[in-house]
Structure 1
């Protein structure tokens, strides 16, 4: 639980940094900067722990890196184009996807209580974000960024289920290392198409993206490897609370009764997911490409 909460806090800081540079720096360039720092830090951590960086199930590790990179591009694009709260709510559609994918692909038991926790948490996220179509507003959110955000949530869920599948064979640091290792060659051609030279201040924010993402990835990987995928991602709903705080502190967004209500629902979902009895999986299904 503590690993997942620490991961959520780190990712909320990452989102804050992305939002600061996203209006001018393309998403692919943010991914590249994040990957450069993360691959160096991951290599250093692996050497310090005397762990081989190459892993055992390399095909699945590369697949996790590819899917994770796609998710990052979508999430960063959504953060740059949408309000912080709205982008966060779209990203937090992924626990619903994760629960279903873990049930289908990993044969993890999906209890009624855990389904209820996911639903309550999603409702809390929705209330915190207060989308204009449901709560009123002058203009609805633009369609393309919304679809990109939903795509990012789906790819995130696939990546998280892949991490869960790697739990029995790979060290968490190896899983974390493969993510930026794959993201680097994937993002370089995209940056080459539209390069933007960052200012010194933007460079600091980009370093923040890489640093907080690295910390969040380490805690996230440990948390997902220790918990069933659906329950782990339900706990990570607390990132929405952190996002609300950053919106208030940095961007001057007000915290109204809807935000408080949504935050309470998110906390309730976390408590329900922790108390939900878990039935061990009957077995593990490997992705078709890794059999």
Structure 2
């Protein structure tokens, strides 16, 4: 999970480094790099590309691509650490969708943990003047859609191989980004080519090792380490990109992560 967090961190920082390019071009390269890897794996393992639950696979891919695009857009307005921490509100929205769509129940302690995380959002926006309203709206929309992605994946269940699910996602992102970037295409210059290529590689490594982590260790041990991505991204953003984090932004991020990690630990103990 630590390797996964580092890989996603490098992807986030890469997107920040490509701020001068249109977001659709970034989405295209992010999708293409991973698509080549997933297609290679599916071919090697002789796994059918189209999968079984095709309608849900397409739906997951469309929602995931929209969420990723909004996340990349938000990075043009927010510091990387702030954007990543707000994106991790997705499990809260997923829980709300689970109540509405799957008739699942959320226990009182979980609502308390969610309230702590939302308090962090209020601290970020209400007390930190550096947080852009546009950026906040974009990342919250991305988190809501990401919550829907979790629900869709749960409906797919074990019917399809994880790489098939990722492959649908990356194919959709490649086509979506490729078509919409045409009017805004800008030739990458110098080392930008390396950064663009790295987007797909880092994203794929992040997804691969996150999956492996959940396969070989208990959820309550592994899941909290997901949030190292916030720490890594914030530190690199501060040291490399010169991003500024006020005391209020740090407090808001801490509250968001505290609520989410507490919920993960609580759910894991309930499931024992």
| TM-score, normalised by the number of residues in structure 2 | 0.82
1:268-283 equivalences in 2 (<5 Å): 269-276=260-267, 277-278=269-270
Query: What is the CA-CA distance between 1:57 and the residue it aligns to?
Result: 0.3
Matched, 1:88 2:81: no
1:266 is aligned to: 257
| 1:250 is the counterpart of 2:240 | yes
Please point out which of 127, 140, 146 is paired with 1:134.
127
Distance 1:194 1:153, change over 3 A: same
For the structure 1 residues 165 and 235, does the alpha-carbon distance in structure 2 shift closer, same or farther, using more than 3 Å as the test?
A: farther
CA distance in 1, matches of 2:40, 2:33: 11
Contact 2:85-2:257 within 8 A present in 1 as well:
no
Tell me if structure 2 keeps the 8 A contact 1:43–1:177. Answer: yes
**Aligned residues of 1:61 and 1:175 also touching (Cα < 8 A):** yes
Between the aligned partners of 1:159 and 1:226, the Cα distance in structure 2 is 23
1:214 and 1:241 mapped to 2: Cα distance?
Answer: 20
Question: CA–CA distance in 2 between the matches of 1:156 and 1:268?
Answer: 18
In 1, Cα distance between equivalents of 2:135 and 2:52: 37
Structure 2: segments with no counterpart, 5+ residues: none
TM-score by length of 1: 0.78
In structure 2, the residue corresponding to 1:52 is in which secondary structure?
Answer: coil
Superposed counterparts of 1:204-219, under 5 Å: 204-219=194-209
Task: Give the structure 1 partner of residue 98 of structure 2.
Answer: 102
Instruction: Find 1:25's aligned residue among 16, 21, 25.
Output: 21
User: Retained in 2: the 8 A contact 1:72–1:152?
Assistant: yes
Give me the whole-angstrom Cα distance separating, in 2, the residues matched to 1:225 and 1:26.
36
Of residues 173, 176, 191 in structure 1, which corresponds to 2:181? 191
CA RMSD of aligned residues (A): 3.3
> What secondary structure does 1:40 align onto?
helix
Q: Match for residue 16 of structure 1? A: 13
User: What corresponds to 1:150 in structure 2?
Assistant: 140
SS at match of 1:25: coil
Q: Secondary structure at the match of 2:164?
A: helix
Please say which of residues 70-79 and 107-116 is displaced more in the overlay. Answer: 107-116
Structure 1 gaps, min length 5: 281-291
Q: 1:225 to 1:184 in 2, by over 3 A?
A: farther
Distance 1:208 1:122, change over 3 A: farther
1:78 Cα deviation (Å)?
A: 0.8
Q: Secondary structure at the match of 2:127?
A: helix
Among 27, 44, 49, the alignment partner of 2:45 is 49
1:36 CA drift (Å) = 1.1
CA deviations on 1:167-218 (whole Å, 9 max, x unpaired) are 2211111111110112222222211121111112111111221111112233
User: Are the aligned partners of 1:95 and 1:118 in contact in 2 as well (CA < 8 Å)?
Assistant: no
